[in-house]
Amino acid sequence: MEQLLRSEEIPEIKTGFDGVRFFPVRHHSPVCSFHLKKAIEDYAPDGILIEGPKNAEHLIPTLIHADTRPPLALYYAYKDQNGRIDDRKGEYKCYYPFLDCSPELTALREADKRGIMARFIDLPYMEILAGTAKNRGIRREEEKQTYNDDYLLSRSRYLQLLCERTGLRDFEEFWEKYFEIQGLEEETPAFVRQMLCYCSLSRQHTPREEMGADGCLLRERYMAWQIAEASQEYKRLLVVTGGFHTPGLMELLEQAPGGGVRFLGEPVRLRGTDDPLQTVYPMAYSMEAADALNGYASGMQSPGFYDRVFQRLETGESGAVAYRETVLHFLAAAGRRARKEGESLSVYDETCAFSMAEGLARLRGKKAPGLYELRDSVLSSFVKGEYSLSTEGPVRILARLTTGEQAGTLCADAARPPLLDDFERQCALLGLKIHSTAEQECTLEIFSRKKHLQISRFFSRTEFLDCGFAKRKKGSDLVRRRDRNRIREIWTYRWSAQVTAALVDASVSGGTVEEAARARLWARMAACKGCGEAAGLLVNSFLMGLADEQARLGEKFARILAEDGDFFSLSRGFSHLAMLGELQDLYQARDMLNLDALLGDCFQKILQLLPFMGQVGEEEQQACMECLRSLYQATGKASCSPYRPLFREAAERMLERKPMNPGVEGAALGILYGCDGSFGERIETAAKGYMQGTDQMRQKSASFLRGLFFTAHDFVFVSRNFLELIDGLLGNLSTEEFLKLLPEFRLAFSYFTPMETDRIAGRAAAFHGKKGRDILKGSAAGPKEYAYGSALDRYIRERMEGRQP
């Protein structure tokens, strides 16, 4: 590695100035923590400066509190109400996770132990956002955003070359071999020099424009300025920052004559540090969440593994022993877990895997086996047979274990977002038990008791905020339009650390549950693409009891409606609206949406599109049938009855346009039959067309029946000839054709109740001179046949579940 690094042009390596020392780190890296501790011991600084947004400084006591247990994270949020970041005025949030092995946490803890100053020196979160180009650095449009920027260390061209030359798979393996494992054998000054050397080279190979767009240069200017300021006050400073920034910081500083350093760059002008819309809170985190962030190249992968290594290093073990013991620990744990999950693994397998890991480490010239050897050994010794979905169990188990399963806890007096306080206040007010983690159940009579309605609304709000607290078990589901006749709701709820985390996460949206729900509602409304989704949100707002929003929501909805030209979305929207109309009466709510007007507009648009819907493809057939049915149902209700004749006309126009999708045709005919019984004849004619037509038409008859039964299955019992017609069709089909159509036939007849099916069977049997009961009698299958059938069944099931390749 030394040789490799030397093979490039190396800048002069400087580790600091008189009175200011630098310690470059990689986030969550045990070896950095290990050496940082030593460096603090050797250097005995009187102050430590740490890379971290300044607006979280007041939370340092929480992070190092004796009752606080990592993994935890700082949660930064900013609501760009005033458009300081850009015109979109969005909400921003990011996490800054800390594990036991994070060097930043080590620095904070050591400073506390020695009673010396420790500060964060990076720009406040909002300023970083403002200084970063859109969709770059911390503003990348990911679902989860992290403050750490290790990706800077791992993306340079130089690194690719290094990996290629050293025959290693990727940056992570390179890092583990040369830094994590080998670094433990080095003296601290040598380690720091090597880190700096690597970081300088990867910085050299990163274009300056990229660093500018990512906000690095601005942050470095601020950090350097902070360092210079602090150096006036403290005589022996230690600066702990991400390795990529260290060389940049040193370039911006020079030795001051009387000790300390002087800032060379241009000072950063802040836009508004005390912005109240910028918040930061500590939150309990999980290893899994920390590992998920690894996808954004932040911190080490498999934090559970490296955390374990760090624990062993803390007990005073040497690096090689710590790694070896950790690998052994995970092999044994994976073996144990695999056995528990039904894999057949023996202790001998574990022995073989361990010797494989050791052998690989020797072959690869590593001082001890690491994560890669651990993975390789499990792959080689635990997986029996071809590596596939069905055999990869042990590898999956290992991945879970090395990620780590523990979750952190915060000390009791940790700062909490107001949202969390409000949540607890509301729970106390409504008498909900949140001091137990056991699942609670409550039955709410929402129409007769006011408090129950309040609880239901509160639950709906938490559900809308996605915090995993309450779940409706029974009761009418208005959004999905199921079980709407129920008058009671049964909810289950459970308090857990994840709920807290989710609430902290949601706190960017507001200070109370209601406020956050409102903000989310508007955000989702703004992002919403169609009328169906928007009407769903209206229903949500109704359930959450945000009636006062409805007037404004109604206006917004009208705009979305005007732009929507999708039949499916419109008809979903129409049904939601129709239902809202009924509910307003039931809940005795005042209509502030101007529902009638919205319904009218929506219906007009549907009528324009409906005649063209007969030509939809097979994949949209079911959706189209459902839309037709729900429009029929909606127009059947008193509030919408004036639309019924118009709907009927449009459906008739639809039937005039040929060729039609058979399922939709069946459904439309069924609906017209529902409107007017004289359509029975037309149904029979159409059905004959399919069933007695050419081969091609016959193929479509099952689909036609499916559509018809979907909307008017009672027609079978009303019409005398219809069953005979179907019987004739079935008689004419060849076995091959029948088998092809069978799935669709099954679907078609699934719309009947068991009693109805019996009746149909009875009548069908009569055509052939038998009774319905006779159909049930058949010759019993022989044991051989039965065994064959059940084996076949099992085989198919296994194939479908992917248990067999």
Partner 1 sequence: MDNKLELKPPVEVRYKEELEALSALDTGRRPLNWKLSPRAVRTFILGSREPLEWNGRKVEIRKKYLGNDALVERCIITLAGSRGLMLVGEPGTAKTMLSELLSAAISGTSLNTIQGTAGTTEDMIKYSWNYALLLAKGPVREALVPSPLYTGMEKGILTRFEEITRTPAEIQDSLISVLSDKVLNVPELGDGGILFAKPGFNVIGTANTRDKGVNEMSSALKRRFNFETVRPVRDVSMEKQIILNEVAELSRENDIEMEPDEDVAQILASTFHELREGVSSMGHRIDRPSAVMSTAEAVSVYYQTMLTAYYYGDSRMDMGCLVQNLVGAVQKENGDDLEKLRGYFQTVVRDRGGKEGGLWNSYYEARKYLR
Interface with partner 1 (CB under 8 A): 165, 167, 169, 344, 346, 349, 352, 355-356, 359-360, 362-365, 372, 376, 379-381, 383-388, 804-805
Which residues pair with residue 441 across a beta bridge?
492
Handedness of CA 572, 578, 584, 586 (dihedral sign): negative
* Residues 6+ away with beta carbon under 8 Å from 515: 509
Q: Which is nearer to partner 1, 363 or 438 (CB)?
A: 363
Minimum CB distance to partner 1, residue 381 (Å): 6
Minimum CB distance to partner 1, residue 359 (Å): 4
Minimum CB distance to partner 1, residue 29 (Å): 23
Consecutive H or E run containing 672:
helix 662-675
The helix/strand/coil state of 680 is helix
DSSP string, 91-110: EEEEEEEE-TT-HHHHHHHH
* Residues 6+ away with beta carbon under 8 Å from 209: none
Minimum CB distance to partner 1, residue 377 (Å): 8
Rounded distance between C-alpha atoms, residue 507 and residue 499, angstroms: 12
Q: Which is nearer to partner 1, 732 or 804 (CB)?
A: 804
Q: Which is nearer to partner 1, 608 or 804 (CB)?
A: 804
The helix/strand/coil state of 283 is strand
Q: Which is nearer to partner 1, 266 or 386 (CB)?
A: 386
C-alpha separations of 438 from 420, 435, 485, 494, 773 in Å = 20, 9, 30, 6, 52
CA distance from start to end of the chain: 43
Rounded distance between C-alpha atoms, residue 664 and residue 322, angstroms: 68
Minimum CB distance to partner 1, residue 605 (Å): 35
Minimum CB distance to partner 1, residue 305 (Å): 18
Query: What's the farthest any 2 CA atoms get from each other in the chain?
Result: 114
Minimum CB distance to partner 1, residue 361 (Å): 9
Look up residue 498 and give its amino acid.
Answer: Q
Q: Which is nearer to partner 1, 15 or 390 (CB)?
A: 390
C-alpha separations of 459 from 324, 467, 504, 549, 627 in Å = 50, 10, 17, 18, 30
**Tokens representing residue 670 in the block:** 């069924």
Minimum CB distance to partner 1, residue 182 (Å): 17
> Three-state SS string across 313-365, please?
HHCCCCHHHHHHHHHHHHHHHHHHHHHHCCCCCCHHHHHHHHHHHHHHHHHCC
Minimum CB distance to partner 1, residue 790 (Å): 20
Q: Which is nearer to partner 1, 388 or 641 (CB)?
A: 388
Question: What's the full length of the chain, in residues?
Answer: 805
Count of other CB atoms within 10 angstroms of residue 392: 14
C-alpha separations of 341 from 320, 403, 740 in Å = 31, 18, 40
Minimum CB distance to partner 1, residue 387 (Å): 4
Q: What share of the chain is helix, strand, coil (3-state, %, to 5)?
A: 60, 10, 30
Q: Which is nearer to partner 1, 721 or 804 (CB)?
A: 804
Consecutive H or E run containing 599:
helix 595-609
Count of other CB atoms within 10 angstroms of residue 306: 27
Q: Which is nearer to partner 1, 172 or 349 (CB)?
A: 349
Minimum CB distance to partner 1, residue 336 (Å): 18
Q: Which is nearer to partner 1, 363 or 412 (CB)?
A: 363
Contact 507, 418 (CB under 8 A): yes
H helices of 733-782, in order, are: 735-749, 754-767, 772-776
Look up residue 385 and give its amino acid.
Answer: G
Q: Which is nearer to partner 1, 336 or 648 (CB)?
A: 336
Q: Which is nearer to partner 1, 398 or 499 (CB)?
A: 398
Q: Which is nearer to partner 1, 328 or 764 (CB)?
A: 328
Minimum CB distance to partner 1, residue 291 (Å): 21
Minimum CB distance to partner 1, residue 391 (Å): 8
Minimum CB distance to partner 1, residue 383 (Å): 6
Give backbone dihedrals phi and psi of 426, rounded to 5 degrees, phi first. -60, -45
Q: Which is nearer to partner 1, 214 or 350 (CB)?
A: 350
Contact 634, 626 (CB under 8 A): no
Consecutive H or E run containing 77:
strand 72-79
Count of other CB atoms within 10 angstroms of residue 19: 18
Minimum CB distance to partner 1, residue 162 (Å): 13
- Name the DSSP class of 407: B
Minimum CB distance to partner 1, residue 365 (Å): 8
Pairing outcome for strands 91-98 and 117-122 = unpaired
296-302-306-308 Cα dihedral, nearest 10 degrees: 140
Strand order across the 470-474 sheet: 440-445, 488-493, 470-474
Q: Which is nearer to partner 1, 359 or 677 (CB)?
A: 359
Q: Which is nearer to partner 1, 352 or 453 (CB)?
A: 352
Q: Which is nearer to partner 1, 8 or 314 (CB)?
A: 8
Q: Which is nearer to partner 1, 355 or 732 (CB)?
A: 355
Minimum CB distance to partner 1, residue 356 (Å): 5
**Tokens representing residue 234 in the block:** 């403290």
Contact 300, 100 (CB under 8 A): no
Q: Which is nearer to partner 1, 168 or 252 (CB)?
A: 168
Minimum CB distance to partner 1, residue 621 (Å): 23
* Residues 6+ away with beta carbon under 8 Å from 423: 462, 503, 513
